[in-house]
Amino acid sequence: MAAVGQDLARDEGHDDVTGVDRAAGLSAPATRAHVKVLRPVAARNNGNRRLEGGLTAPIIGRPEFLSARMLALVAAGAISWFAFDHPAAGRVGIVLVVTAALSPLISRIPPRSHVGEYQAIVDLIVIAVLVCAAPELWPMALIWIGTNQAWHSLTSTPRASLVISGASLATMAFVGYFESIEMWPFAVITGLLLAVAFTVYGSTLRQEIWDQESALTEALSAAGAVVHHSDLHRGTVVRIEGDLPGLTGWTTEEWGSIDHRHFIHPDDLAHYWVELDEVEPNTVLDRLARMRRKDGSYLWMRDVALVNEDARGHRTLRGFSLDVTDLEESNARSVRQLREDTLTGLPNRLALNERITELLASDTDFALMISDLDRFKEVNDTLGHEAGDQLLQIIADRLVGAVRPGDLVARLGGDEYAVVLVGDVDDVEVVAITTRLSTACARPVSLNGVAVAIATSTGVALRSRSGRDRATMLRHADIAMYEAKRSSESFRVFDASLEQTSTLRLTLSGSLAAAIENGELTVFFQPKYDMASRRLIGAESLARWQHPQFGLLTPATFLDIALMSETALPFALSTVRGAASMVRRLQDAGDAMPIAANVAMRALRDPAFAPAVLALLAELDVPPELLVLELTESDPLWPNLHTVLGLEALLEAGVQISIDDFGTGHSSLERLRAVRVHELKIDRSFVDGMTSDPLQRQLVRTIVDLAGRLGYRIVAEGVETEEQVDMLLGFGCTMAQGYLFARPMSAGDFFDLARAEAIGEVSLDA
């Protein structure tokens, strides 16, 4: 790989003759990157240039050259036949004419690069034939010697060709005269014809080829290319055309005197460097690499060159180099954009897939995390999509800042992100990292003047448990994320049980709509009691799914599926119908009491919900004041303009509103102001902790006091001990539901319970 011909050299008639690295050839950068103005090509003095080596074979094989040779031979044969009265003159003429006729065949049979060799063989045969047929005409041999000399001199300048031809003719004349050979004038005339024809045509052809080459060189130079021609045998640069110094900072002398590996970017050297001695002749090299400018910067250069070898084994390298920096940078941008999320600048799903595939192929341990932003839709709906985009960008920056070096953060689309934790990650470290990520994302963000805190739900798939293939890793992480969101946990690590749950949920999601239509949904009832008198005063209806394959399913299994947009309304109306039907049944038995039905905001915001409920009440002839709609305070879609309008229509009709899980949601007091309600239900988490936690106890007391001051009924959920009953009664809360009193039961069992207690009329203002 050592450089060859590092010393500078000069050769008369060449523009620039410098050393050339034989292993790499010449690979000059072409134009300065981003320069759009094309530089004019410097004027050249063609008069002192000789035709370059390696063009002999193309000239000899040209049809015009063969035609000139044939005409000269035919003319010489005719002169021999008609102008000389000699016994051998006719035979000489015939031989010359036959030789002329055979010339085109000789040019077609061998490869063009070997035409000269075949012509020389034919000439020797012709000379032998002439000498054998007429020994006295041995001077004809001199004619062919002189002719061939003139012929092969075509690669020299016209002046040199005439000198060589003249010397040949003078030699023939001298020998013929002093040897008293009768036909020596014929020999001289024939040689003169051939010399003149070959010299004149050779000069014209030489100029034509030079003009063509010059035009091509000028066109390439004008297009920003650097044209190069190197002599690999001598290890020198024959010529460089183009503004190499202006474009790269290197002079032609520096370019030739420095090992060319010095110019090539180290990352590109292995696939760019070629041992030219090992390259087959007539091979075109097309290479791309970054070349170093003298100031240390790099430009992308494409070099196209032909390794040529003539009949003598003389090898040359001719080609051009072109700056393709703009094109390569554009291609690089396209590649980045293909693998980059346009909003956040993070790697996208394609880049994530490639990284996971790479890690799986390398047997590297890693963990895949998929995180989804909770309540992101609420941000978009409330503050607008620009605020949502801003939030996505902020979360992206926070995730990148919270991971370790070498980890990957990607955006999958929407509000989903993925994190690849590279290395051996155990459950303890997963907890630490997910906690750090969740904490970073949960810091409040100011969007349009509103402080927004966003929680995340994250699913984790470990390669040690899920690393069969990329699709499995992604699916397991997604299943774990969905389970985390469904169970209101910050994260879940995938295990085999989740896959069974996921399969069940997939089956349920595909059949719920039909189940509602076919009446597979039923309603259970959780009794409400007056704690002081232990009298039944109402109930909360709870949906159940009597699945033909999986049996009786509780809401925890399918509720979030039911709240999807396409099933939210029919599911809510099914629950309301169950509650209203129980009211009608109790009324018919003389035991009227209010029954509550849980309704999600997604259903309530549907314009068809309120009219459908009022029509149902009218159909069953149920007093609206005996129907209570329980709204979960933590539902992110409330309050909303459409929701409020729907509630107002129901409130005007007399339907009562209860807020479930009070105290656990967002902006509780704001929601109380936005919507008129009749009842607050204390969440079971407060009731569970109030007996042991003074803070929880004070919170329950505060909620009870607030409800009393605002004129709301107050109901405690999840009451399971007498101690809780005593404490709640002491605070002023008289109504409750929980396992201490009764578990959820079927409609028939609840009806029987109500009939057995025969409680009579119940005041709604109790």
Cα 485 from Cα 643, distance rounded (Å): 24
Q: Which amino acid is at 514?
A: A
Closest to 224 (Cα-Cα) out of 361, 320, 135: 320
DSSP codes joined into one string, 591-650: ----EEEE--HHHHTSTTHHHHHHHHHHHHT--GGGEEEEEETT-TT-S-HHHHHHHHHH
Cα 257 from Cα 20, distance rounded (Å): 8
Tokens of 744: 């959820």
Is residue 9 a contact partner of residue 214, using CB atoms and an 8 Å limit? no
Q: Which amino acid is at 624?
A: P
Sign of the dihedral defined by the CA atoms of residues 485, 491, 494, 495, in that order: negative
Name the 3-class secondary structure at 759.
Answer: coil
Residues contacting residue 405 through CB under 8 Å, at least 6 positions apart: none
Residues contacting residue 144 through CB under 8 Å, at least 6 positions apart: 123, 126, 127
> Quick one: 338 exposed, middle or buried, by C-beta within 10 A (0-12, 13-18, 19+)?
exposed
Cα 432 from Cα 439, distance rounded (Å): 11
Check residue 1 and give its pLDDT.
Answer: 29
Closest to 316 (Cα-Cα) out of 286, 263, 276: 276
Check residue 128 and give its pLDDT.
Answer: 73
Check residue 723 and give its pLDDT.
Answer: 95
Tokens of 466: 């899920």
Check residue 712 and give its pLDDT.
Answer: 93
Helices (H), 322-446: 325-338, 349-361, 376-383, 385-402, 427-442
Give the Å distances, CA to CA, from 519 to 416, 546, 611.
Answer: 36, 9, 21
Q: In the beta sheet, which residues pair with residue 451?
A: 446
Rounded to the nearest 10 degrees, the angle between the axes of helix 565-588 and helix 555-562 is: 120
Q: Which domains does the chain have, with CATH numbers?
A: 1-30+229-338 (3.30.450.20), 56-209 (no CATH), 341-494 (3.30.70.270), 508-754 (3.20.20.450)
Check residue 346 and give its pLDDT.
Answer: 92
**DSSP assignment letter at 182:** T
Would you mind telling me the total number of residues written for the chain in this entry? 766
Closest to 432 (Cα-Cα) out of 443, 442, 444, 421: 421
Full-model pTM? 0.48
Sign of the dihedral defined by the CA atoms of residues 729, 731, 732, 738, in that order: negative
Q: Which amino acid is at 723?
A: E
Closest to 315 (Cα-Cα) out of 633, 25, 701, 58: 25
Name the 3-class secondary structure at 304.
Answer: strand
Closest to 524 (Cα-Cα) out of 552, 548, 484, 566: 552
Cα 217 from Cα 241, distance rounded (Å): 7
Cα 192 from Cα 186, distance rounded (Å): 10
Q: What is the mean pLDDT of each run of 10 residues along the chain (766 residues)?
A: 30 36 35 28 32 43 64 71 64 69 64 60 70 63 59 52 65 64 66 68 64 63 69 69 75 73 82 73 82 85 80 76 79 76 90 92 89 85 88 93 91 92 82 88 86 87 83 88 80 76 65 79 94 94 86 75 73 92 93 91 85 95 95 64 73 92 65 80 90 91 92 94 95 95 94 79 41
Name the 3-class secondary structure at 677.
Answer: coil
SS3 for 7-56 is CCCCCCCCCCCEECCCCCCCCCCCCCCCCCCCCCCCCCCHHHCCCCCCCH
Tokens of 573: 């109306």
Check residue 219 and give its pLDDT.
Answer: 62
Please report, in angstroms and rounded to a whole number, the separation of the first and last CA atoms in the chain.
Answer: 99
Cα 352 from Cα 343, distance rounded (Å): 16
Check residue 491 and give its pLDDT.
Answer: 85
CB atoms within 10 A of CB 696: 16
Is residue 172 a contact partner of residue 142, using CB atoms and an 8 Å limit? yes
Q: Which amino acid is at 197?
A: A
Is residue 471 a contact partner of residue 545, using CB atoms and an 8 Å limit? no
Is residue 106 a contact partner of residue 99, using CB atoms and an 8 Å limit? no
